[in-house]
A and B are shown apart, each in its own frame.
Chain A
Protein backbone atom coordinates (compact mmCIF):
# COMPACT_ATOMS: atom_id res chain seq x y z
CA UNK A 1 0.00 0.00 0.00
CA UNK A 2 0.92 3.64 -0.29
CA UNK A 3 3.19 4.89 2.46
CA UNK A 4 2.01 8.48 2.16
CA UNK A 5 -1.50 9.91 2.33
CA UNK A 6 -2.05 13.54 1.56
CA UNK A 7 -5.01 15.84 1.45
CA UNK A 8 -7.03 15.59 -1.72
CA UNK A 9 -7.35 18.65 -3.85
CA UNK A 10 -7.92 20.79 -5.55
CA UNK A 11 -7.45 23.59 -3.06
CA UNK A 12 -8.39 27.12 -4.07
CA UNK A 13 -7.41 30.07 -1.91
CA UNK A 14 -7.36 33.83 -2.19
CA UNK A 15 -4.03 35.64 -2.11
CA UNK A 16 -2.67 36.14 1.43
CA UNK A 17 -4.77 33.30 2.84
CA UNK A 18 -3.30 30.70 5.19
CA UNK A 19 -2.44 27.34 3.64
CA UNK A 20 -2.35 23.88 5.19
CA UNK A 21 -1.92 20.71 3.16
CA UNK A 22 -2.12 17.62 5.33
CA UNK A 23 0.23 14.69 4.93
CA UNK A 24 0.52 11.50 6.98
CA UNK A 25 2.96 8.64 6.50
CA UNK A 26 3.39 5.05 7.60
CA UNK A 27 5.63 4.83 10.61
CA UNK A 28 7.95 1.97 9.62
CA UNK A 29 11.57 2.73 10.41
CA UNK A 30 13.08 6.23 10.41
CA UNK A 31 12.14 7.80 7.12
CA UNK A 32 13.13 11.16 5.77
CA UNK A 33 10.19 13.32 4.75
CA UNK A 34 9.95 15.72 1.83
CA UNK A 35 7.66 18.17 0.14
CA UNK A 36 8.17 18.52 -3.61
CA UNK A 37 6.46 21.09 -5.82
CA UNK A 38 5.62 21.04 -9.50
CA UNK A 39 4.90 24.43 -11.02
CA UNK A 40 2.90 24.57 -14.27
CA UNK A 41 5.03 23.35 -17.17
CA UNK A 42 8.00 22.49 -14.97
CA UNK A 43 9.50 19.39 -13.42
CA UNK A 44 9.31 18.27 -9.81
CA UNK A 45 11.61 20.15 -7.46
CA UNK A 46 12.36 19.85 -3.80
CA UNK A 47 10.59 22.41 -1.63
CA UNK A 48 11.72 21.34 1.84
CA UNK A 49 12.74 18.32 3.86
CA UNK A 50 13.13 16.95 7.39
CA UNK A 51 15.23 13.96 8.32
CA UNK A 52 14.28 13.23 11.93
CA UNK A 53 11.51 13.72 14.44
CA UNK A 54 10.78 17.32 15.48
CA UNK A 55 12.86 18.73 12.61
CA UNK A 56 11.24 21.64 10.82
CA UNK A 57 11.88 22.11 7.12
CA UNK A 58 11.35 25.55 5.63
CA UNK A 59 11.74 27.31 2.30
CA UNK A 60 10.08 30.21 0.46
CA UNK A 61 7.80 30.85 3.43
CA UNK A 62 6.60 27.24 3.57
CA UNK A 63 7.14 25.12 6.68
CA UNK A 64 6.55 21.53 7.71
CA UNK A 65 7.39 19.80 10.99
CA UNK A 66 8.20 16.08 11.28
CA UNK A 67 5.74 14.84 13.92
CA UNK A 68 6.51 11.29 14.92
CA UNK A 69 3.68 11.08 17.48
CA UNK A 70 1.06 11.81 14.85
CA UNK A 71 3.06 10.47 11.84
CA UNK A 72 2.39 13.74 10.07
CA UNK A 73 4.30 16.27 7.98
CA UNK A 74 1.74 18.96 7.19
CA UNK A 75 2.75 21.79 4.84
CA UNK A 76 1.89 25.34 5.93
CA UNK A 77 2.31 28.86 4.66
CA UNK A 78 1.05 31.94 6.39
CA UNK A 79 0.24 34.03 3.32
CA UNK A 80 0.04 32.45 -0.12
CA UNK A 81 0.73 34.24 -3.38
CA UNK A 82 -0.56 33.67 -6.88
CA UNK A 83 2.90 32.35 -7.78
CA UNK A 84 2.45 29.49 -5.29
CA UNK A 85 -0.13 27.89 -7.58
CA UNK A 86 1.26 24.43 -8.26
CA UNK A 87 0.90 20.75 -7.39
CA UNK A 88 2.47 19.77 -4.06
CA UNK A 89 3.67 16.25 -3.31
CA UNK A 90 4.50 14.84 0.09
CA UNK A 91 7.10 12.05 0.06
CA UNK A 92 8.46 9.50 2.52
CA UNK A 93 11.87 8.42 1.20
CA UNK A 94 10.98 7.24 -2.34
CA UNK A 95 7.22 6.96 -1.80
CA UNK A 96 5.07 9.88 -2.96
CA UNK A 97 1.57 10.97 -2.18
CA UNK A 98 -0.97 11.57 -4.94
CA UNK A 99 -0.37 15.32 -4.97
CA UNK A 100 -2.52 18.32 -4.06
CA UNK A 101 -3.24 20.98 -6.64
CA UNK A 102 -3.26 24.49 -5.20
CA UNK A 103 -4.71 27.46 -7.05
CA UNK A 104 -4.28 30.92 -5.56
CA UNK A 105 -6.57 33.63 -6.94
CA UNK A 106 -5.68 37.34 -6.83
Chain B
Protein backbone atom coordinates (compact mmCIF):
# COMPACT_ATOMS: atom_id res chain seq x y z
CA UNK B 1 0.00 0.00 0.00
CA UNK B 2 0.94 3.65 0.02
CA UNK B 3 3.60 4.95 2.34
CA UNK B 4 3.47 7.94 4.63
CA UNK B 5 2.58 11.10 2.77
CA UNK B 6 3.02 14.69 3.83
CA UNK B 7 1.72 17.95 2.43
CA UNK B 8 2.72 20.43 1.39
CA UNK B 9 6.19 19.31 0.40
CA UNK B 10 7.45 22.89 0.52
CA UNK B 11 6.12 25.86 2.42
CA UNK B 12 7.38 29.42 2.51
CA UNK B 13 5.93 31.57 5.26
CA UNK B 14 6.56 35.12 6.29
CA UNK B 15 7.61 35.62 9.87
CA UNK B 16 4.54 35.84 12.06
CA UNK B 17 2.29 33.72 9.85
CA UNK B 18 0.64 30.54 11.01
CA UNK B 19 1.26 27.28 9.12
CA UNK B 20 -0.35 23.84 9.13
CA UNK B 21 1.50 20.73 8.02
CA UNK B 22 -0.38 17.53 7.23
CA UNK B 23 0.62 13.91 7.64
CA UNK B 24 -1.20 10.87 6.25
CA UNK B 25 0.24 7.77 7.93
CA UNK B 26 0.19 4.25 6.59
CA UNK B 27 -3.32 2.84 6.97
CA UNK B 28 -3.70 0.89 10.19
CA UNK B 29 -0.59 2.27 11.86
CA UNK B 30 -1.26 2.96 15.49
CA UNK B 31 1.64 5.25 16.33
CA UNK B 32 2.53 8.56 14.71
CA UNK B 33 5.56 10.74 15.31
CA UNK B 34 6.62 14.25 14.34
CA UNK B 35 10.25 15.31 14.04
CA UNK B 36 12.07 18.51 13.17
CA UNK B 37 15.25 18.16 11.12
CA UNK B 38 17.56 21.12 10.73
CA UNK B 39 20.03 21.18 7.87
CA UNK B 40 22.88 18.75 8.45
CA UNK B 41 21.36 17.38 11.66
CA UNK B 42 19.45 14.30 12.69
CA UNK B 43 15.70 14.34 13.31
CA UNK B 44 14.72 15.88 16.64
CA UNK B 45 11.66 14.34 18.29
CA UNK B 46 8.69 16.67 18.69
CA UNK B 47 5.66 14.63 19.66
CA UNK B 48 4.09 11.16 19.60
CA UNK B 49 0.53 9.88 19.21
CA UNK B 50 -0.92 6.51 19.93
CA UNK B 51 -4.17 6.51 17.96
CA UNK B 52 -5.76 9.87 18.82
CA UNK B 53 -4.00 10.27 22.17
CA UNK B 54 -0.98 12.52 22.32
CA UNK B 55 1.20 10.59 24.76
CA UNK B 56 4.37 12.61 24.57
CA UNK B 57 4.83 16.22 23.54
CA UNK B 58 8.06 16.81 25.39
CA UNK B 59 9.94 17.78 22.23
CA UNK B 60 7.69 20.63 21.14
CA UNK B 61 10.02 23.66 21.36
CA UNK B 62 7.43 26.21 22.43
CA UNK B 63 3.73 26.75 22.94
CA UNK B 64 3.58 28.03 19.36
CA UNK B 65 3.74 24.40 18.24
CA UNK B 66 0.61 22.30 18.41
CA UNK B 67 -0.20 18.86 17.00
CA UNK B 68 -3.40 16.90 16.74
CA UNK B 69 -4.67 13.59 15.42
CA UNK B 70 -8.39 13.77 16.18
CA UNK B 71 -9.54 10.53 14.55
CA UNK B 72 -6.42 8.51 15.03
CA UNK B 73 -5.27 8.68 11.43
CA UNK B 74 -4.34 11.98 9.74
CA UNK B 75 -2.30 14.37 11.86
CA UNK B 76 -1.66 18.08 11.61
CA UNK B 77 1.28 19.99 13.05
CA UNK B 78 0.49 23.67 13.47
CA UNK B 79 3.02 26.38 14.09
CA UNK B 80 1.71 29.75 15.15
CA UNK B 81 3.51 33.06 14.62
CA UNK B 82 6.38 31.43 12.76
CA UNK B 83 9.92 32.55 13.49
CA UNK B 84 13.04 32.18 11.37
CA UNK B 85 14.40 29.52 13.70
CA UNK B 86 11.40 27.36 12.76
CA UNK B 87 12.88 26.87 9.29
CA UNK B 88 13.56 23.14 8.96
CA UNK B 89 12.26 19.94 7.42
CA UNK B 90 9.35 18.53 9.39
CA UNK B 91 9.17 14.75 9.22
CA UNK B 92 6.25 12.54 10.04
CA UNK B 93 6.62 8.83 10.74
CA UNK B 94 4.17 6.07 11.55
CA UNK B 95 4.55 2.72 13.18
CA UNK B 96 2.37 -0.35 13.21
CA UNK B 97 2.53 -1.04 16.92
CA UNK B 98 1.86 0.81 20.14
CA UNK B 99 5.44 0.34 21.27
CA UNK B 100 7.13 3.67 20.56
CA UNK B 101 10.40 1.86 19.98
CA UNK B 102 9.06 -0.13 17.05
CA UNK B 103 10.40 0.56 13.58
CA UNK B 104 9.09 3.72 11.96
CA UNK B 105 8.18 4.52 8.37
CA UNK B 106 8.98 8.05 7.38
CA UNK B 107 7.29 10.45 5.02
CA UNK B 108 9.22 12.66 2.59
CA UNK B 109 8.98 15.68 4.89
CA UNK B 110 7.76 19.25 4.55
CA UNK B 111 10.49 21.83 4.07
CA UNK B 112 9.44 25.01 5.86
CA UNK B 113 11.24 28.25 5.11
CA UNK B 114 10.37 31.28 7.20
CA UNK B 115 11.42 34.58 5.64
Report the bound CA distance from A15 to B106 in whole Å.
29
A-B pair count, CB < 8 Å, reads: 45
Q: Is the CB of A98 within 8 A of B101?
A: no
Which residues 40-59 of B have a CB within 8 angstroms of A? 40-45, 48
A38-49, CB under 8 A of B: which get 1 and which 0? Answer: 000001111001
Which residues on the B side are within 8 Å of A99 (C-beta)? 40-42
Q: Is the CB of A45 within 8 A of B106?
A: yes
Interface membership of B77, Cβ < 8 A: no
Q: Is the CB of A44 within 8 A of B101?
A: no
Classify chain A: how many residues form its interface, as a range.
20 to 34
Interface membership of B112, Cβ < 8 A: no
Which residues on the A side are within 8 Å of B102 (C-beta)? 32
Which residues on the B side are within 8 Å of A97 (C-beta)? 42
Which residues on the B side are within 8 Å of A51 (C-beta)? 101
- Known interface pairs A43-B107, A98-B40, A99-B40; 9 further A-B residue pairs with C-beta atoms within 8 A, sorted by A's residue number: A34-B103, A36-B106, A43-B91, A44-B93, A94-B45, A94-B48, A94-B100, A94-B101, A98-B41
Report the bound CA distance from A79 to B49 in whole Å.
40
Which residues on the B side are within 8 Å of A25 (C-beta)? none
Q: Is the CB of B33 within 8 A of A94?
A: yes
Which residues on the B side are within 8 Å of A91 (C-beta)? 42
Also in contact, A31 and B101, with CB within 8 A (given A43-B106, A43-B108, A44-B106): yes
- In the complex formed, the residue of B with least CB distance to A49 is B103
Report the bound CA distance from A4 to B44 in whole Å.
11
Determine which residue in A4, A94, A96 has the highest number of CB atoms from chain B within 10 A of its CB, and name it: A94
| Closest 4 pairs (CB-CB, A-B) | A96-B42, A32-B101, A44-B106, A93-B101
Which residues 88-115 of B have a CB within 8 angstroms of A? 91, 93, 100-109
- In the complex formed, the residue of A with least CB distance to B31 is A94
Interface membership of A89, Cβ < 8 A: yes
Which residues on the B side are within 8 Å of A46 (C-beta)? 103-105
Which residues on the A side are within 8 Å of B45 (C-beta)? 94-96
- In the complex formed, the residue of A with least CB distance to B38 is A98
